[in-house]
Chains A and B, each alone.
Chain A
Amino acid sequence: MNNFKAVVIGGSAGSFPLVVKILSSLPKDYPFPVFLALHRLKHIRNGFVEALSIKSNIPVIEPHDKQQIKPGIAYLAPSNYHMYVELGNTIALSTEEMVKYSRPSIDLTFDTASYVYKDKMVGVIVSGANTDGADGIRKSKERGAYTIAQNPDEATIKTMPDAAIKAAQMDHILTIDEICKFLVSIKP
Chain B
Amino acid sequence: MEIEIDIKEIRTLVTAIKTNYGFDFGEYALSSFKRRLSRILEVYKFENMQKLTDRVATDKPFYELFLKEVTVNTTEMFRDPSFWKKMKESVFPLVKDFPVIRIWHSACSSGEEVYSMAIALKEAGLYDKARIFASDINEDVIAKALEGKYPARNMELNGFNYEKYEGPKKLNNYFKTNGDYAYMDLDLLKNVTFKKFDLVQGDQFQRFDIILCRNVLIYFNLPLQDQVIAKFAKCMSLGGFLAVGSKETIAWCKSAENFSTFSLEEKIYQKKI
Interface residues of A (CB under 8 A from B): 43, 45, 62-66, 78, 81, 84-87, 90, 92-97, 108, 111-112, 115, 139
Contacts and interface: CB of A to CB of B under 8 A. Distances in A.
Contact of B219 (A90, A94, A112, A115): A94
23 contacts: A43-B164, A45-B80, A65-B217, A65-B218, A65-B249, A66-B29, A66-B218, A81-B247, A84-B29, A84-B32, A84-B35, A85-B31, A86-B29, A86-B31, A87-B7, A92-B29, A92-B31, A92-B32, A93-B247, A93-B248, A94-B35, A95-B218, A96-B72
B57 interface: no
B222 interface: yes
Interface in B133-169: 157, 160-161, 164
B74 interface: yes
Given A87-B7, A94-B218, A95-B74, A78 B247 contact: yes
B218 A92 contact: yes
Contacts of B217: 65
Given A86-B29, A87-B30, A43 B160 contact: yes
A96 B74 contact: yes
Given A45-B80, A95-B74, A96-B72, A66 B252 contact: yes
B82 A112 contact: no
A68 to B, nearest CB: 9
A58 to B, nearest CB: 21
B31 A112 contact: yes
A85 B2 CA distance: 19
A64 B31 contact: no
Contacts of B164: 43
A164 to B, nearest CB: 17
Contacts of B260: none
A99 B75 CA distance: 16
Given A65-B249, A93-B218, A45 B82 contact: yes
A42 to B, nearest CB: 9
B224 to A, nearest CB: 11
A96 B30 contact: no
Given A92-B32, A92-B218, 11 more contacts: A43-B164, A45-B82, A65-B248, A78-B246, A85-B31, A86-B31, A87-B7, A90-B222, A95-B74, A96-B72, A112-B35
